[in-house]
Amino acid sequence: MRLLEERIRKDGIVKGNDVLKVDRFLNHQMDVELFTEIGEEFRRLYAGEEITKILTIEASGIGIACVAAQCFKVPVLFAKKNKTKNIAGDVYTSKVESFTHGRVYDIIVSKEFLRPEDKVLLIDDFLANGAALMGLITLVEEAGAKLVGAGICVEKAFQPGGQRIRDMGIRVESLARIKSMSEEDGIEFI
Amino acid sequence: MRLLEERIRKDGIVKGNDVLKVDRFLNHQMDVELFTEIGEEFRRLYAGEEITKILTIEASGIGIACVAAQCFKVPVLFAKKNKTKNIAGDVYTSKVESFTHGRVYDIIVSKEFLRPEDKVLLIDDFLANGAALMGLITLVEEAGAKLVGAGICVEKAFQPGGQRIRDMGIRVESLARIKSMSEEDGIEFI
């Protein structure tokens, strides 16, 4: 998606060879007009697919998912990062390893909102090692719902998550795929 | 806002005399068509006010804020619940006491995105004791920005937050104001 790539070049900040800060428009300050374009692009990519629910993960996926959901006319469900030890029996849960924060945490969704008859599109802002996306995939599997695919804004294609998940036969559509990046040479997209 | 009140009556679950679960449509599963109506109502209430930015707090405020921001055509900024002890000098920070989780946490926003020239509308899903909203107000004050007011979906008007903040001379518009509630008698709106 050229619009997103251009915005990343203009407002993204590369640190070292693997950190890309996009907090000017994507995951701290949020440009909702851009989100509308992103949502319409996901709709175009998944045209013809029946989708009944969009699943994302807190916090930075929520805004993009909600704006995209307007294009699909379906509800959003966001997986919560669990803060308590007590998990009641009425939730699906999976584990996510955060490379940024160096720890493993549980994510949960209420069983009431993820049903076997659901056809689910996953949406998130970033795909790198794929930990968060794998966690969401596990939740969909636990529910016995159909996984239609994933819509990602920025994929660091030099990290293994995207390939690993595509190798599972899961459709992953990333709007900006970064082949390589560095502070010196900037960003190269696929 | 009658639409929201009706939805709370239909899908909200009262526990005891002070807990209202609205996770079917507001803060876990999210009905974005309802969010669009909510955003348009905030726009109507704040018509004539110049607003340059919407400020909310993760996680459940983000979806409503992003959909509402489409009506205002301004960016959203969300305050992050700080996970690290190291706060760099490039953020504004304030403290929020969570009654639900029984602890105090820091919230932060980058100074880059909250400027003295900003005219800020606060948006959140709930107002009860007002702790989160007070935290956001402090961030706006630290930045030297203008606080236009707050847009709240559900106010528990029997708790002190709303009155306290209005007494500070701050405009608070709540779309559904709960006077009282109980498992036996249901919900009474103001």
pLDDT value of position A101: 73
Cα separation of A70 and A62, whole Å? 13
Which residue in A45, A58, A49, A125 sits closest to B30, CA to CA? A58
Number of residues that make up chain B: 190
- Please, which contacts does A48-52 make with residues 24 or more away whose CB atoms are closer than 8 Å? A49/A119, A49/A121, A49/A148, A49/A149, A50/A119, A50/A148, A51/A119, A51/A120, A51/A121, A51/A148, A52/A117, A52/A118, A52/A119, A52/A120
pLDDT value of position A83: 64
Query: On the CB side of A92, how many CA atoms lie within 13 Å of its CA?
Result: 22
Backbone angles phi, psi at B121, to 5 degrees: -105, 125
Distance from CA of A184 to the nearest CA of B (A): 23
Residues B150, B55: contact at Cβ < 8 Å? no
pLDDT tens-digit map of B89-113:
799 999 998 877 778 989 999 999 9
Contact A35 B66 (CB under 8 A): yes
For B82, name the nearest residue in chain A, comparing CA atoms only.
A101
ipTM above 0.85, yes or no: yes
pLDDT tens-digit map of B30-80:
999 999 999 999 999 999 999 999 999 999 999 999 999 999 999 999 999
Q: Which of A25, A64, A101 sits opposite B83 (nearest CB)?
A: A101
For B31, name the nearest residue in chain A, comparing CA atoms only.
A75
Distance from CA of B134 to the nearest CA of A (A): 20
Which residues of chain B make contact with A33, given a CB cutoff of 8 A? Answer: 70, 73
Residue with tokens 């999210």, as numbered in its chain: B30
Cα separation of A69 and A51, whole Å? 10
Beta strand residue intervals within A31-185, DSSP E: 53-57, 76-81, 91-98, 103-110, 119-127, 146-156, 172-182
For chain A, the C-alpha Rg in angstroms (whole number) is 16
pLDDT tens-digit map of B141-184:
999 999 999 999 999 999 999 999 999 999 999 999 999 999 99
